[in-house]
Amino acid sequence: MKMPEKGVSPPEPTVGKKLFAELLGTFVLVWFGCGAVMNAKYTGAMVGLGQVTMTWVLGGALAVYTCGSISGGHLNPAVSLAFALVRPADFPIYMLIPYAMAQIIGAFCASAVNYYLFSDAIIKFEMANEFVRDTSGRSYANAFGCYWSENVENANHAFVMELLGTAMLTFTVFTVTNKSNNVPGYAVPAIVGIAIGSIIAIIGSMSGGAINPARDIGPRLFTLISGWGTYSLEMMWPYSAGPFAGGLIGAILADFLVRPGTLG
């Protein structure tokens, strides 16, 4: 393999390579994060929100480390939308839909792998709790898509939680990637992972803490075709509307209010 000459930047990754990186990065994020939820829910191997949250921290950091230098490591359609509208020089809007599709596919594939790994545990959980797929209960809730708990009043309440959580995520992302902040590039994935886990620690037990439409849509689509039927599509809109709105708010706060005029 011919190495690039010293001082010469590597060639710009192709669109296909960027999309594949987003797919794989989102796979890593959801495989670790939702896998931790499954371990807690179906096997009892993890106890409490803290252990699950820490796995989301590590999974988020690893996901960005693996693909960030290729695709930017968005892993989240709400983050991609925020970049397209707030930093269009860094991410053109025509890439938004391809990125979102790659991210959803990555989340779907991670759900399929997790389902295979935990299939026996899921069946035992359903039998013990008298769940009947496509008939009663949500034995898939939060281990796949996100569904708010009894501690959330209604869809509007869940929407606000997801909006605030995603705003905090993009505020962090846009702040640490602003040139005026002088954060070393190698530190950004770890900081993003910490942000993801910290947000889930606050709202995860209530709204589910999706803060990412792909993390919700991809797994829902998997459960839709895997025996749970249209129950999978219930309670869905806050987990896309909230992150898209919140992601834009957080990015605007970071780039136009906290650090205005510092991108050049």
CATH number at residue 225: 1.20.1080.10
Quote the pTM value: 0.93
In a domain, 208, yes or no: yes
Q: Is the pLDDT of residue 3 over 60?
A: no
In a domain, 52, yes or no: yes
Q: Please, what is the average pLDDT of the chain?
A: 92
Arithmetic mean of pLDDT, 28-46: 94
C-alpha dihedral (21, 70, 26, 255), degrees to nearest 10: -150
In a domain, 8, yes or no: no
Arithmetic mean of pLDDT, 106-123: 97
- If one counts the domains in the chain, the total is 1
Q: Is the pLDDT of residue 63 over 70?
A: yes
199 DSSP 8-state letter: H
Element (H, E) at 99: helix 96-128
In a domain, 93, yes or no: yes
In a domain, 1, yes or no: no
The H helix count followed by the E strand count for the chain is 8, 0
pLDDT for 1: 35
In a domain, 264, yes or no: no
Q: Is the pLDDT of residue 207 over 90?
A: yes
Q: Is the pLDDT of residue 2 over 50?
A: no
- Of the pLDDT bands very low, low, confident and very high (cuts 50, 70, 90), residue 9 is low
| SS3 (DSSP) at 129 | coil
Domain that holds residue 88: 15-258
In a domain, 263, yes or no: no
What is each CA distance from 241 to 12, 16, 178, in whole angstroms? Answer: 33, 28, 26
In a domain, 127, yes or no: yes
